[in-house]
Each structure stands twice: as structure tokens, then as C-alpha cells.
């Protein structure tokens, strides 16, 4: 873990405040882009239930910016060179939905994204899983490094929890890391099981249907 000083954070905070207007505009642009692609997929599938969160976004805070500058060997005057300054997130139901969305984001052209790369993250130590898309977003005036995270619901639960309790924690007992990894693996099995259930539902057309008409109005059998 990269250590940063109070002075580093204070300098990053000043630089962040000076650039905040441009950064917030780019953050909004990235979030809207993710929401647009999600909506397009929903219309094409005639289904909105595959996606739970169509777009959340964030800017690095001062401490995160200071750490990123240190990790990437940049001084505070070069904040626009940080490669993941702006982030967005989408949460879907199943791994196949995540892949569909990631492919859609990579192919979309509504915003100017360059040097795009897609990585299926499988952290062997923590168990964290997600799809990360990284690149550079250009709105014609500013260019910023961005990252879009696509997760299933179970991956998101683990990601939020582990960031609060495990991520960048100092002197964490190894057994706690192992326990976290075991839970992540458990959630991955759940994702796989639900994926198989969906495939079987589609294959055998066994989706439940609501009773309508006279069947819905029939009285229950009389108990003798």
C-alpha cells in the first residue's frame, strides 16, 4: 500500500478544487453514457430487469488522488494524467448480463473514449471479481482517465463490503483475508447457479405465468 503524507493530501485537495468544475462535467458525461447504453440494451431485450443500477459515478477524493499520483509517479501539477480519475459503475443480475453490457460499452460511440481496454478481474488474494473498462474520456476541452466497473449483484455486495473492511487495511490478520476470499468464492458459485437456472428456464420455457380470466376467479377446492 502506498503511504501518503498530510502534505500530499493537502496539495492534492487544492489541485482537485481548482479542477472540480471540469471533472464534475466529465463525471456526469461518463455516468450518462453508461446509463444510455444500459437503456439501449433494455429496449433491445424488451426487459429492464437484467440491470439493477444503470450508472453511479465518482471522482477520486484528495487522499485517493494523492495515492494515485504517488503510485503513478506523477507530481501534483499532472493530475490530468491520472489514469482512473473518474469512475462509473453498473450493477447487473448475472455474469452473462455483465458481459453483454461490457461489450455494449466497448462498442458504443456516443462519447469520445480512446485507448479502451477491458479486463475481467479475478483477484486471487481477495476474491474480488468484476469487469473493468479503462480508457480516456475527451469532451473536446479536457481529457481524463476513466474506469467503468461492471459487476453482478453478488460481486457488488462483496466489493462494497470488502472495500469497507478489507481493502487497504493495515496489519490485517491473514485468516480474515482467507475468510473474505472464501465468501467471495461462495458468491461466485451462487452467480453460476443462477446462470444455469436462467438457461434452463429459457430452454424449457418454464417461466411462471400468472393465472388470468376464469381460472384466476375460481374458488379454491372445498375442504371436507
CB neighbours of 191 closer than 8 A, spacing ≥ 6? 94, 95, 152, 154, 155
- CATH number of the domain where residue 160 is located: 3.30.460.10
- Burial tier of 59 (Cβ tally within 10 Å: 0-12, 13-18, 19+): middle
Number of domains comprising the chain: 1
Strand-pairing partners, residue 117, are: 134
What are the two backbone dihedrals, phi and then psi, of residue 72, each rounded to the nearest 5 degrees?
A: -95, 5
Residue 219 lies in a domain: no
- The β-bridge partners of 113 are 137
198: in domain: yes
Asked if residue 34 belongs to a domain, the reply is: yes
Determine the straight-line distance between the first and last CA of the chain, rounded to whole angstroms: 72
Residue 28 within any structural domain of the chain: yes
Domain assignment of residue 197, yes or no: yes
Cell numbers describing residue 55:
450508472
Within-domain flag for 120: yes
> What's this model's pTM, rounded to 2 decimal places?
0.83
pLDDT digits (tens), the chain, 224 positions? 567 899 999 999 999 999 999 999 999 999 999 999 999 999 999 999 999 998 899 999 999 999 999 999 999 999 999 999 999 999 999 999 999 999 999 999 999 999 999 999 998 888 899 999 999 999 988 999 999 999 999 999 998 887 777 765 566 788 888 888 899 999 999 999 999 999 998 888 765 555 555 545 555 555 44
How are the residues of the chain apportioned to helix, strand and coil, as percentages rounded to the nearest 5?
55, 20, 25
Residue 222 covered by a domain:
no
Residue 104 lies in a domain: yes
Per the listing, cell 453478488 goes with 154
Instruction: Note down the domain range covering 15.
Output: 6-204
Amino acid at each position: 500500500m502506498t503511504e501518503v503524507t498530510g502534505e500530499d493530501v493537502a496539495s492534492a485537495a487544492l489541485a482537485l478544487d481548482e479542477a472540480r468544475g471540469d471533472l464534475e462535467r466529465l463525471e456526469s458525461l461518463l455516468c450518462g453514457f453508461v446509463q444510455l447504453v444500459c437503456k439501449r440494451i433494455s429496449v433491445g431485450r424488451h426487459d429492464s430487469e437484467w440491470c439493477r443500477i444503470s450508472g453511479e459515478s465518482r471522482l477520486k477524493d484528495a487522499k485517493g488522488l494523492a495515492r494515485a499520483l504517488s503510485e503513478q509517479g506523477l507530481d501534483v501539477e499532472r493530475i490530468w494524467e491520472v489514469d482512473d480519475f473518474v469512475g462509473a459503475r453498473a450493477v447487473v443480475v448475472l455474469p452473462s448480463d455483465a458481459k453483454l453490457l461490457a461489450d455494449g460499452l466497448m462498442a458504443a460511440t456516443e462519447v469520445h473514449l480512446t485507448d479502451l481496454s477491458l479486463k475481467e478481474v479475478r483477484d486471487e488474494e481477495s476474491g474480488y471479481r468484476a469487469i473493468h473498462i479503462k480508457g480516456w474520456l475527451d469532451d473536446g476541452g479536457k481529457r481524463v482517465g476513466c474506469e467503468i466497473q461492471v459487476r453482478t449483484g453478488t460481486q457488488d455486495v462483496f466489493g462494497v463490503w470488502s472495500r469497507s473492511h478489507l481493502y487497504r487495511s493495515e496489519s490485517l490478520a491473514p485468516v480474515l483475508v482467507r475468510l473474505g476470499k472464501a465468501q467471495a468464492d461462495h458468491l461466485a458459485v451462487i452467480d453460476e447457479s443462477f446462470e444455469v437456472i436462467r438457461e434452463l428456464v429459457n430452454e424449457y420455457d418454464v417461466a411462471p405465468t400468472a393465472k388470468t380470466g376464469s381460472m384466476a376467479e375460481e374458488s379454491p377446492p372445498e375442504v371436507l
